[in-house]
Chain A
Amino acid sequence: MLEIRNLHAEIGGKEILRGLDLHVRPGEVHAIMGPNGSGKSTLANVLAGQPDYEVTAGEVLYHGKNLLEMPAEERAREGVFLAFQYPVEIPGITNAYFMRTSLNAQRKHRGEEEIDAVDFLSLVREKMKLIEMDEKFLNRSVNEGFSGGEKKRNEVLQMALLDPMLAILDETDSGLDIDALRIVANGVNTLRSEKHAVLVITHYQRLLSYLVPDVTHVLMGGRIVKSGDRSLAEKLEESGYGWIEEEVAKGGAPA
């Protein structure tokens, strides 16, 4: 479903991704870990089409199509969803209106009819129940004045509502309390099917214990330097990234 080959990307004239390879098949959940500043959010943003990043080499195929050629909104309509590490606030637009506009943009793209206000309300209520979010958030402006955890939950709500093919979660677990963590994991797990794929960017193996990724990668210096199963995440949490750095320095091929 997602095929990243030798991806190089820079921002502000600084190269961040330096030859990144990643292959995600439908139905898989991949975890990406890595030290601060290693390029995880950069990868997420490049995939989502954030215009400030410049791709200088490599290619990204999504369902066989050249993802990098599509404008951001088209990627979204094709099912690429990014749960932002820092969701922005949009004053003056209610959450409900925003989500309906977004859902309808995507439905229209798929040739489906627009959802009316009544049907939308029952759909969004169902999703809110799932992630235990109060309905009062529907009538508040998008993310405005939300607590850190509420913003993250709101991202998960949008994800559940839009039902993306490829969901990228950028540290959605940061700033969440234990209960919220479980709820977010549940939200992600509802996406699990043979068709959906999920990329989870995280620093903690706690979320991974709920999610159980198929593969865990380590991103360092703008490349995937190591991939493994769940035990890799546990080992990282215990010992940090030092030993991988040494491995890489010794010229150990990325596993």
Chain B
Amino acid sequence: MSSSQEDIRNLTDREYEYGFVTDVEQDTAPPGLSEDIIRFISKKKNEPDFMLAWRLKAYRRWLELNEEDARWAKVDFSPIDYQDISYYSAPKIKPKLDSLDEVDPDILETFKKLGIPIEEQKILSGVAVDAVFDSVSVATTYKAKLGELGIIFCSFSEAVQEHPELIKKYLGSVVPYADNFYATLNSAVFTDGSFVYIPEGVRCPMELSTYFRINEAKTGQFERTLIIADKGSYVSYLEGCTAPMRDENQLHAAVVELVALDDATIKYSTVQNWYPGDKNGKGGIFNFVTKRGKCKGRNSKISWTQVETGSAITWKYPSCILQGDGSVGEFYSVAVTNNLQQADTGTKMIHLGENTSSTIISKGISAGHGQQTYRGLVEIHQRAKNARNFSQCDSLLLGDRCGAHTFPYIDVRNASGKVEHEATTSKIGDDQLFYCQQRGIDPEDAVSMLVNGFCKEVFRKLPMEFAVEASKLLEVTLEGSVG
């Protein structure tokens, strides 16, 4: 083993920076899952009957589903005991706040530790922050300003109360309650999340942003996000998260649904940095997320950009259903696996309409014993005349103990379809590192420079403030992983 391999190892051996727990009194349901618990959640949230009915339908369906069927991904973990999870927890806080002064100072402190000063964000970047702290929104800003434009940006629970007609119409319209094991579970027990509605012709003047944070031990997180962009509207939505250090694996099974009507554009960006577990893989987050967007209208566009650095296991395929003629789907992804992290991620582009097009750019970085799989599906249906797709999947290996795997599935049912696929695998070579060192560059800096270079295409797609954060995250994640 050369000594730069050692350097890489030293670099990778950095402890998770955000390991701390905030002490906020929680109002927690006892562990376990039953119809009673679902009724409890629904009641606690004061939901209308249609919501409870929907949850119960999902729950009954979930009982029939087998988790094994969702285990086709190239990830490996011990079984989850769903009766050992508590399905509801909420900080004891008045739900509605007008200013940050009313927010629990502990929570604000937590955000500060995470390097996410809300105040600064508001002032500096004009980002409206809907902070979801353990399932209940505690700070919502800029609501008034958005309200003037008719934009709705609120917690999911609030939307259920205030805009039940929109929820009724769109909930489950992209990810049906019976979609898959984890999405079905989410449909039964989700506690909160975000809701966005952009009215016809409105361009949302700021990036909408939610920071998620898992804070209660053994509380599975079941977020639900629904974004609807009405005709000719535009919205850019940011999602980012970190989690405190924990000894038990925490399940996160979120669902995100996007709906774009005629000529509307939704840009959804994620920076995900959940606790990946320690060096032995103990205590990390299981991130099993169902994210899907439907380009329902003509010439609509949905663009997913993600930077995934955290979690012990990531299982995630943000997808686009290109139903409207001329609609466009995009997927730009950077995923990093270090130590014993496993990621099975990718996208699905389902071309239904004519002249639909999709672009997939996936950059996978593996270090330590990290294992990473890209799994992509491009489906061009019979009716989808002149559909086209371009896919590019690049893998970068740091060190000699990690792995990268690429599985592109292509299914073209219309002869006029055009599908291009490119894939590369490269290694940060010892010779490249030495070249940098010989010019005086610190090996850690060299690695982050090389990795940033590798990810440039994707970072360019992120909103400014996110791009900076993303490249910082990458640095932290890969520290100690030169080789």
Contacts and interface: CB of A to CB of B under 8 A. Distances in A.
Contacts of B440: 73, 76-77, 102, 105-106, 109, 162
Given A52-B2, A92-B454, A93-B449, A102 B439 contact: yes
Contacts of A141: 453
Interface stretch (A55-63, A81-89, A204-212): A81-89
B439 A76 contact: yes
Interface stretch (A29-37, A43-51, A175-183): A43-51
24 contacts: A49-B437, A49-B438, A50-B434, A51-B3, A51-B430, A52-B2, A52-B430, A72-B434, A72-B438, A73-B437, A73-B443, A77-B440, A88-B431, A88-B435, A90-B432, A90-B450, A91-B426, A92-B452, A92-B453, A92-B456, A99-B439, A102-B441, A105-B441, A158-B439
Contacts of A77: 440
Interface of B: 2-4, 426, 429-432, 434-443, 445, 449-450, 452-454, 456
Nearest to A51: B3
B4 A162 contact: no
Contact of B438 (A52, A82, A92, A109): A82
Contacts of B454: 91-92
Interface of A: 48-52, 71-73, 75-77, 81-82, 84, 87-88, 90-93, 97-99, 101-102, 105-106, 109, 141, 158, 162
A47 B385 CA distance: 63
A47 to B, nearest CB: 10
A222 to B, nearest CB: 22
Nearest to A99: B439
A106 B442 CA distance: 10
A90 B439 contact: no
Most chain A CB inside 10 Å of its own CB: which residue of B3, B434, B442: B434
B432 A76 contact: no
Contact of A76 (B2, B438, B453): B438
A102 B449 CA distance: 11
Contacts of A90: 432, 435-436, 450, 453
Contact of A92 (B3, B430, B442, B450): B450
A102 B441 CA distance: 6
Contacts of A87: 435
B44 to A, nearest CB: 50
Contacts of A75: 438
Contacts of A81: 438
Contacts of B456: 92
Contacts of B429: 88
A91 B438 contact: no
Contacts of A106: 440
Contacts of A50: 434
Nearest to B442: A73
B435 A101 contact: no
A84 B435 contact: yes
Given A90-B436, A102-B441, A162-B439, 6 more contacts: A72-B437, A73-B442, A81-B438, A88-B435, A90-B435, A98-B449
A76 B445 contact: no
Q: Which of A49, A82, A88 has the most CB of B within 10 A?
A: A88
B4 A105 contact: no
B10 to A, nearest CB: 12
A76 B426 CA distance: 27
Contacts of B439: 76, 98-99, 102, 105, 158, 162
B324 to A, nearest CB: 35
B445 A101 contact: yes
A48 B252 CA distance: 49
Contacts of B449: 93, 97-98, 101
Which of A71, A81, A92 gathers most chain B CB within 10 Å?
A92
A51 B443 CA distance: 13
A76 B435 contact: no
Nearest to A105: B440
